[in-house]
Amino acid sequence: NDMIQIPEGLLRRNEERQELLKKKEENARPSQAEAFKTAFKEKHSEIDEALNSCHHLEGDRNKIAERLNEISRELNILSKFLSASSLFLVAYDVKIFTKSIQQLHDKMTDVEAALLPKKKFGFSSRIDKKKENKKTEDEIDATEKKCSPRIPISRATNSCGFTSRTDEELSLPHAEVYNKDVLLSNLNSCTVFIRGTPNTIHVVSSSKCKVLCGPVATSVMVHTCTDSTFSIACQQLRVHNTLDCDFYIHVTTKAIIEDSHRVRFAPYNFYYPDLDIHFGLSGLKTDRNNWQDIDDFNWLVSNKQSPNWSLIPMEERIKY
């Protein structure tokens, strides 16, 4: 009844053979990173070609607007694809792919400016009497040129928000913002509550404001803002040309700053009764928050933190 003893050497050779077969199978399949790079390159080329094709529609504003809205949706999908793949990509590749997406955004903005130019507003003679208190049209244009890079703002009807408000408390409930693009522009000394799940948020040219928002399904872009506080949860946060602002964030990829100074960061701090439900609707992962992993595109020194951002000291952090 003694059991047959298999020689140890034979067992070891069998294990080695199995391990070799496993490695051959793994090498035969492209890695997740390689598969992502191939798919990203294909989608990037498709979007780039779609942008080039807009010039063939010159003169047909409706078709151009439809094409740009479709491209905007494809860019959002590509951003989500990158966000979901960031787990198996190295940080350098994430930065490169993020920059590629931003370049497409910038190109879309240029196409929109060329083919769908905004109408300029004229100034009446009555305004001329008070021109010492007003900026001239040339001054406004010069100021706008300093705000680089420009942030593309979708013209889709699927949008809502506030513009040109001063010293007000503003609110958007879930029913109004769900899966929509929210635009907040030219706000001064306002507090904005967004208790819901938007698709994107753009905050432009605002100062001395508080923006408290529930989970955003994709990206938040803050451009040309000063002396403001933001509480935001999103996949990706991009901050451009912004000064002296505090950000309380839950971000599942990275926060990116560019041409910004004296911006500070801390963990997300906004709570309201349906927050957990809205996190579920947004698809954001609650167990992943890279709130202190900030990428400054103007700072190229790898072994030293950028002087343009810092963490908010514990004793200065606010709870909402």
Contact 290, 252 (CB under 8 A): yes
**Residue 26: what residue type?**
E
**144 within a domain of the structure (yes/no):** no
5 part of a folded domain: no
Q: Is residue 197 part of a domain?
A: yes
Q: In this structure, are residues 219 and 258 in contact, taking their beta carbons and an 8 Å threshold?
A: no
Q: Is residue 2 part of a domain?
A: no
In this prediction, residue 23 carries a pLDDT of: 66
CA 169 to chain centre: 25
Total number of domains in the chain: 2
Single out the residue of 216, 212, 180 nearest to residue 80, CA to CA. Answer: 216
Whole-number Å distance between alpha carbons of 225 and 245: 8
Residue-level pLDDT at 91: 76
Together in a domain, 242 and 176: yes
* Same-domain check for residues 96 and 43: yes
| One domain, residues 97 and 197 | no
Which structure tokens are listed for 130?
A: 């008070």
Q: Residues with Cβ < 8 Å from 110, sequence gap 6 or more?
A: none
- CATH number of residue 87's parent domain: 1.20.58.1250
Instruction: Decide if 25 is inside a domain.
Output: no
Q: Is residue 122 part of a domain?
A: no
Instruction: Choose one of 63, 95, 115: the last residue of a domain.
Output: 115
Residue 116 three-state SS: coil
Spell 138-176 as b/e; 16+ CB within 10 A means b: eeeeeeeeeeebbbbbbebeebebbeebeeeebebebee
What is the domain range of residue 282? 159-298+308-313
Taking only the tens of pLDDT, the chain with its 320 residues reads 455 565 666 667 777 777 776 665 555 446 788 888 888 999 999 999 999 998 888 778 888 888 888 888 888 788 778 877 777 788 788 888 888 888 888 888 888 888 877 544 443 333 443 444 444 444 434 434 444 334 444 444 578 999 999 999 999 999 899 889 999 999 999 999 999 999 999 999 999 999 999 999 999 999 999 999 999 999 999 999 999 999 999 999 889 999 999 999 999 999 998 899 999 888 898 989 999 999 998 888 777 889 999 999 999 999 87
CB 180 within 8 A of CB 160: yes
Confidence (pLDDT) at 85: 79
Residue 249: what pLDDT?
A: 97
- Cα–Cα distance for residue pair 198/180, rounded to 1 Å: 5
